Amino acid sequence: MNVIGILIATWIIYASFYLCRVNFSIALPLINLELGVPHSQLGAIASGFFIIYATGQILNGYLSMKFKPQKMVLIGVIGSGIMTILFSLNKNFTSLLLIWMLNGYFQSLGWPTLVKVVAIISRGKKLGVLFGLFNTSWAIGHAISWLFTGIVVSSMNWRNGFTLNGLLFLAIAIPASIYLIERMKELNGKHTSTRNELKKNIKRETIGMHVKLIFLLATSFFIIDSIRYGLTVYLPAYIFSIEKSTLSSTFIALTFPITGSLGMITTGIISDKIKIEKKTLFVLTMSLTTMILTYSFPFIYQSNREIGIIALIILSALLYSIESQITAVIPIKIVGEKHSSITAGIINSIGAIGAFTSSIISGFLVDIYSFIEVFKFWSYIQIPLIPLLMIAYLVVKNLATLK
């Protein structure tokens, strides 16, 4: 069936994007040791990536409404693969920063384009399950990238964690993108009438409410992505500081994305059974728990490794689940397939700015204070989620009554 084939292709493509994104986190401690680049400058490189990634999300989200998203993603695959390989060939801070920023743009072609594709094939049904499954791509892709990069870096050197990752990305994602282009041609030909029915137009009287909801979700995602990407960048380094082993710290850190994927599937199934106006309250409940776990995790881990890993499992499952609901399920259920790419682009771009801010601030906190202070910082910035999600609940409830 074309729909299943398309979903598998989008999953493979987006999962493989992470080979050329989160490999930086695994290589970070070794770049610091070999090149003498301080954490503050490494944080600047990560932040440079995110600021360009954020800009590209909005631009490419808009362009995905005008052009074929499946063709645009192929450009992102080729560009990101090349930039990642080039990164491995440099050692100057400025060149590393510029190349990783360019990589950020090509990476931004992945999310809004593929969200649009999944929204098209969903036909407005089972969004929680479909996006729960699709979103496991970035969690499992994250895990695979960390595992692969960790093995390569520990057995070779950090540069091979970029060269080999870039080559593998191109080898996997180019054929999958070509397959996606061909299958979408067939789907468009067979389901034109169905797609036209799904392209709902937003009523003029509700435009302001839709904009307000997107702003609230985007601001919430700014906070959540600050934490998740803060953990993505610095969790391996934190565990490395305790375990003193790249391979050991990689395997423990893998708990974060792997259990995150399981959390997204579980909450996706649950959310499909919850009314749209109650989904934000569901997210709020999960957020209160992550706030506590983020603060307490390093204390738990340093006093009892096994219990610390359990705390990390719960934290990751909740964080990834919150992201899935905020970036895809709730907004697309409200705005529909027609505006899905630009909505996803806007929300994800604001999240990327959060990742940008967190990466650079967290780097300074590590250099000046310690990893403990970073976890406290990530916990404190979650407090504004409470009023943001409560207001979002009221907006969604009003929109639901107007339908």
Specify the DSSP class assigned to residue 326. Answer: I
- Whole-angstrom CA distances from 123 to 5, 195, 269 are 16, 7, 17
Question: Based on the structure, what is the number of domains in the chain?
Answer: 1
Q: Is 0.75 surpassed by the pTM of this model? A: no
Question: Are 230 and 374 in contact, with CB atoms under 8 Å apart?
Answer: yes
DSSP line for 253-314: HTHHHHHHHHHHHHHHHHHTTS-HHHHHHHHHHHHHHHHHHHHHHHHHHHH-HHHHHHHHHH
Longest CA–CA span in the chain (Å) reads 60
Tokens linked to 198? 């799904």
Q: Residue 278: give its domain's CATH number.
A: 1.20.1250.20
- Whole-angstrom CA distances from 135 to 7, 72, 87, 175, 265 are 11, 19, 27, 21, 8
Specify the DSSP class assigned to residue 364. Answer: H
The domain in which residue 122 lies consists of: 2-402
What is the C-alpha separation between 332 and 327, in angstroms, rounded?
Answer: 8
DSSP line for 17-82: HGGGTTHHHHHHHHHHHHH---HHHHHHHHHHHHHHHHHHHHHHHHHHHHS-HHHHHHHHHHHHHH
- pLDDT tens for the chain, 403 residues: list them: 577 888 899 999 999 999 998 888 788 878 888 777 777 788 788 878 888 988 898 888 888 878 888 889 999 999 999 999 999 888 888 889 999 999 999 999 998 889 888 888 776 566 667 777 888 888 788 888 888 988 888 888 888 889 999 999 999 999 999 999 888 877 665 544 444 444 455 566 567 788 888 889 999 999 998 898 788 778 888 888 887 777 777 778 778 878 888 888 888 778 777 777 788 888 899 999 999 999 999 999 988 988 998 998 999 999 888 888 888 777 877 776 667 777 878 888 888 788 778 877 887 888 888 888 999 999 999 999 999 999 988 888 887 776 5
